[in-house]
Amino acid sequence: MFQTINIAKGVNVHVNETTQFKTINFSIRFKDKLTKEKASARSILANVLQHSNEVYPSHTALRMVLDDLYGTSLYMDSSKRGNEHIVTLNVETVNDEYLSETGVLEKVMNLMYIVLFKPNFEDGLFKPSIFEREKSAIKQRIESLFDEKTRYAQQRMLEHALPGHPASISPNGTIEDVESMTNEQLVAEYRTMIEENEIEIYAVGDIQPETIAAYIREYFHFSDREKPVSAPPLELKKPKEPRVLEFEVMKQGKLHMAFYTPITFHDEKFPIMQVMNGVFGGYAHSKLFVNIREKESMAYYVSSSYASHFGLLFVLAGIDANLEEKAVKLILEQFEEVKQGHISDTELDQTKALLTNQLKEALDSARGQIEIYDQYMELSETFEPEDIIARWKNVSKEDIAAVAQDISLEMTYFLSGKEEDSNE
Amino acid sequence: MNKVHFEQLDETLYHEKLDNGLEVYILPKKGFSKTFATFTTKYGSIDNNFVPIGKTEPIQVPDGIAHFLEHKMFEKEEGDIFQQFSKQGASANAFTSFTRTAYLFSATDLIEENVETLLDFVQEPYFTEKTVEKEKGIIAQEITMYDDQPDWRLYFGMIENLYKNHPVKIDIAGTVESIQDITAEHLYTCYHTFYHPSNMVLFIVGSVEPESMMALVKENQAKKTFEKPEEIVRIYPEEPVEAAIKERTLEMSVQKPKVFVGIKPEVLDLSGEQMMKHELAAQLAFELLFGRTSDFYHHAYESGLIDESYSFDYSLENGFGYALIGSDTQQPEELAKEIDNTIQRALELWPFGQADLDRVRRKKIGFFLRALNSPEYIANQFTRYAFNDMNLFDVVPALEALEVQDLQAAFYTVSLESQRSVFTIVPPEKESE
């Protein structure tokens, strides 16, 4: 699907030439080691770079050019995957085949070049007003997590269960680190990102790989860089407390449970864990959904998810604040069923069918293709979706029960509105 | 079968209206492996006062019933329909809006089986008092979940502010109290009135062969019997142009205040071409006034009045509509005032010309082309347009035909001070300030 062209050591261009989409998608990913300080710096950096540059010194000027290029979407974001922090420049533009105008693509590539290589510098620093403004934007982004109680509860749970571990580091870092960031530090971070980070460049659309590669070679001048030595995944330590209860002014209780598993993304048993998660709580036919929601009418949402880079399995449920104990008991009963291998043929077949469907569906969007390849190429440079589908097919109930044996519940976190309610 | 080719978009749409009144649309997408199908009835939360099929007197049904019915459609005597879809490798879902209820699946395999399942489960109601009772717990948790979401409360709080009588002001899911009154009999009444094929649209998009799929749908429908189609009598109250409530504040567990300025549009009875023209013109006018290239955005962002949560939106349905502009902000009053001033200034002197229109029009065309990569967008939006007698694929030519004065005219319908309202959510400790 993707054709890979090496541009420099540590810099690859992957192109999927296809007529499936009416647009052309680019994704340029800068990968670095994840720490909370780096996460803060790189989040601010992503915002500063997408805000303005030397050629388009105001946000308005830049956005006007994008509007003129048929609403080309251009944004940068910061995310994490395992021990890696990734800053991405995402661009999507219309294929000029559908327009009366040509040359749009080249203008867009030039704009990507400007965004990355022509920052809005004043005396060797980022323009101070923009630097301050975007620092405050990231601070507010971190703070706003509190408003979304499900995400907030998940973050709190991780902080309690795995303090300082990459699993609990926010891709935006912390407010303290954002506040203490200096302009000089950010410029240094920028240089590191452009000159030293491993870079994967993706392009999907009706375009020729050679055209993209030639353009990037000519304009982007990425030098050789070392691929960071991939550190072994950090060990999951036992949390200090197995159960944490916190209160907020809210109506629903948010139950979050963390299970540890020794099986991670790189383990050959990884596909078994995916099927296990699907049977346990991944889908509307799963044990959790059928028993907790449909049979007990206790929750609107209850599900499990597998964070394969860390070896974590989560269960999330929104329940009445008085029902924590009952919900935990029922969830653990369902987990015990999986552990005992009490899985029906239907449950197993449905899960495999839906995993397969999900993967194929994701490949029907350009973003999905990029995400999946960027991830699975870590496992094998010649990754084909059929490989993983075939591995799911071979998973048996016994395999699932066996991996479940090594999964342990380490922490239960409950964000409750109970206390406030009883005061009313 | 009718076949329309949209040259500019390189898409071909197949359509047929079946004998029972069902509108069927099929759009093959080259290169896609998935198929996405939606089966939608023109029945949403606002349809709570109507004349039941075969009756003469209107009835009023409990709040949240269309959404409750959506939940209950998935349960059958033989079990849960999700299980059936899962077996066939499909992920299924449904949603209820103000004006419609949609059932959908997406799958990469066994498309014919999944389409049959979709048609059959929506056309075979099965409700018992026992299963209706059981669902109340689940939906109560759903309502509670939304109650804790400040952005949803902000959105709904604003709609309650704008509308005095119209049922759009009722939360789509109803309340924990109102759903207690729902019975199986209610569900059957609503079902039989609104789930007639003549009130529904089937849209299938993706990896699909149109001829054989149309044949399959026709055969499936021919096997079933339906009542004779009747015109559905829906009753909506009179609604003044003015916003019902000028200003309101709600306390919630948030980090920072959130504010919306809402505007209630004046023109409410449009459909077809007129509606499309008006909606697009108003959207472009708002883009110019409040979009990311506007003077307003520039000043508000630079001065820290708005942050990344900033949004604006204009949307219109038959009988109601709203424009919403807002953000998380430490200065909700200043932001509301600035939004107001921006509108006032544009009223006094319309600041936009041809070049501005050309720019936002290109942006909108680009957005539309991007959206056509998404089977979900096509199916959902096409259906929404169809229920308002519009064709989604006319959007580009309609955009191209717009003139500056169209934008200005559309803007005038949302410019009166009395049409505006402000809704604010504040953290508890800030209340005393």
Residue A365 structure tokens: 């969007």
Per-residue confidence of chain A (424 residues) as pLDDT tens digits?
899 999 999 999 999 999 999 899 999 999 999 999 999 999 999 999 999 999 999 999 999 999 999 899 999 999 999 999 999 999 999 887 777 677 889 999 999 999 999 999 999 999 999 999 999 999 999 999 999 999 999 999 999 999 999 999 999 999 999 999 999 999 999 999 999 999 999 999 999 999 999 999 999 999 999 877 667 777 899 999 999 999 999 999 999 999 999 999 999 999 999 999 999 999 999 999 999 999 999 999 999 999 999 999 999 999 999 999 999 999 999 999 999 999 999 999 999 999 999 999 999 999 999 999 999 988 888 889 999 999 999 999 999 999 999 999 999 999 998 654 444 3
Beta carbons of A297 and B136 less than 8 Å apart: yes
Residue B410 structure tokens: 């559309």
Res B257 pLDDT > 50: yes
* Torsion sign, CA atoms B167, B170, B173, B177: negative
SS3 A70: coil
Beta carbons of A59 and B298 less than 8 Å apart: yes
Any residues with CB less than 8 A from the CB of B237 and at least 6 apart, and which? Answer: B165, B166, B167
- Min Cα distance B38 → chain A (Å) is 16
Share of chain B above pLDDT 70, in %: 98
Beta carbons of A60 and B297 less than 8 Å apart: yes
**CA A332 vs CA A117, A259, A310, A312, A414: distances in Å:** 53, 11, 22, 16, 15
**CA B264 vs CA A120, B57, B172, B354, B391: distances in Å:** 41, 31, 19, 27, 25
Are A49 and A69 a contacting pair, CB within 8 Å?
no
Site of tokens 């820290």: B304
Amino acid at position B130, single letter? K
Residue B294 structure tokens: 């506007």
CA angle B368, B372, B375 (to 5 degrees): 140
Helical axes A36-51 vs A128-144, angle rounded to 10°: 120
Q: What is the mean pLDDT of residues B88-98?
A: 97
Residue of B86, B141, B304 with shortest CB distance to A350? B86
The pLDDT of residue B430: 45
Measure the CA–CA gap between B268 and B100, rounded to whole angstroms.
18
Buried b / exposed e over A140-170, threshold 16 CB at 10 Å, is bbbebbbbbbbebbbbbbbbbbbeebbbbbb
Which residues 196-215 in chain B show a CB within 8 A of chain A?
Answer: 206
Beta carbons of B141 and A144 less than 8 Å apart: no
Measure the CA–CA gap between B312 and B291, rounded to whole angstroms.
8
Amino acid at position B162, single letter? L
Which residues 315-344 in chain B show a CB within 8 A of chain A?
Answer: 328
Prediction pTM value: 0.95
Q: How many CB pairs under 8 A join A and B?
A: 192
Chain B residues touching A348 at Cβ < 8 A: none
Establish if A60 touches chain B: CB-CB under 8 angstroms.
Answer: yes
3-state percent helix, strand, coil for chain B, nearest multiple of 5: 45, 20, 35
Any idea what DSSP says for residue B234? Answer: B
3-state SS string over B184-205?
HHHHHHHHHHHCCHHHEEEEEE
Measure the CA–CA gap between A191 and A422, rounded to whole angstroms.
55
Are A317 and A157 a contacting pair, CB within 8 Å?
no
Beta carbons of B252 and A283 less than 8 Å apart: no
The pLDDT of residue A422: 43
Confidence of residue B323 (pLDDT cuts 50, 70, 90): very high
The pLDDT of residue A149: 96
SS3 B142: helix
Rounded to 5 degrees, what are φ and ψ at B28? -75, 140
The pLDDT of residue A418: 64
Res B433 pLDDT > 50: no
Chain A residues touching B136 at Cβ < 8 A: 297
Beta carbons of B144 and A318 less than 8 Å apart: yes
Residue in B362, B367, B374 to test binding to A, most A beta-carbons within 10 Å: B362
The pLDDT of residue B268: 66
Any idea what DSSP says for residue A293? Answer: I
Confidence of residue B8 (pLDDT cuts 50, 70, 90): confident
Measure the CA–CA gap between B191 and B65, rounded to whole angstroms.
10
Chain A residues touching B82 at Cβ < 8 A: 284-285
Strands B11-17 and B2-6: antiparallel
Q: What is the DSSP string of B373-385?
A: T-HHHHHHHHHHH
The beta strands (E) that lie in B35-167 are given as 35-41, 49-50, 59-60, 75-76, 79-80, 91-96, 101-107
Any idea what DSSP says for residue A295? Answer: I
Which residues 269-298 in chain B show a CB within 8 A of chain A?
Answer: 292-293, 297-298
SS3 B262: strand
Residue B299 structure tokens: 């000043």
Q: Which residues pair with A316 in a beta bridge?
A: A256, A303
Confidence of residue B231 (pLDDT cuts 50, 70, 90): very high
Residue A114 structure tokens: 């400007």
Q: What is the mean pLDDT of residues B400-422?
A: 95
- Min Cα distance A66 → chain B (Å) is 8
Q: Which residues pair with B312 in a beta bridge?
A: B325
Measure the CA–CA gap between A373 and A27, rounded to whole angstroms.
12
Chain B residues touching A248 at Cβ < 8 A: 253
The pLDDT of residue B7: 85
* Torsion sign, CA atoms B275, B278, B284, B286: negative
ipTM: 0.93
Q: Enumerate the active-site residues of B.
A: 70
Res B56 pLDDT > 60: yes
Residue of B134, B149, B369 with shortest CB distance to A297? B134
Nearest residue to B364 via CA among B339, B398, B389, B332? B398
Amino acid at position A18, single letter? T
Any residues with CB less than 8 A from the CB of A416 and at least 6 apart, and which? Answer: A245, A246, A247, A248, A253, A254, A321, A324
Q: Please, what is the end-to-end C-alpha distance for chain A in angstroms?
A: 60
Q: What is the mean pLDDT of residues B177-195?
A: 97
Nearest residue to B273 via CA among B369, B98, B397, B100? B397
Measure the CA–CA gap between B137 and B139, rounded to whole angstroms.
6
Chain B residues touching A283 at Cβ < 8 A: 86, 91
Share of chain B above pLDDT 90, in %: 93
The beta strands (E) that lie in A286-407 are given as 299-307, 312-320
Are A321 and A417 a contacting pair, CB within 8 Å?
yes
Q: What is the mean pLDDT of chain A?
A: 94
Q: What is the mean pLDDT of residues B89-106?
A: 97
**CA B14 vs CA B4, B17, B25, B202, B209: distances in Å:** 6, 11, 6, 12, 10
Nearest residue to A8 via CA among A278, A204, A245, A197? A197
The pLDDT of residue B45: 98
- Min Cα distance A374 → chain B (Å) is 20
Site of tokens 């014919």: B112
Is residue A344 classed exposed, middle or buried when 0-12, 13-18 and 19+ CB atoms within 10 A define those classes? exposed
Chain A residues touching B302 at Cβ < 8 A: 129, 133
Residue of B91, B151, B309 with shortest CB distance to A354? B91
Chain A residues touching B369 at Cβ < 8 A: 22-23, 70, 94, 98
The pLDDT of residue A424: 38
**CA A413 vs CA A121, A223, A255, A305, B226: distances in Å:** 46, 47, 6, 16, 52
Establish if A299 touches chain B: CB-CB under 8 angstroms.
Answer: yes
Establish if B228 touches chain A: CB-CB under 8 angstroms.
Answer: no
Q: What pLDDT, in 10s, does the model give residues B367-386? A: 998 899 999 999 999 999 99
Beta carbons of B360 and A67 less than 8 Å apart: yes
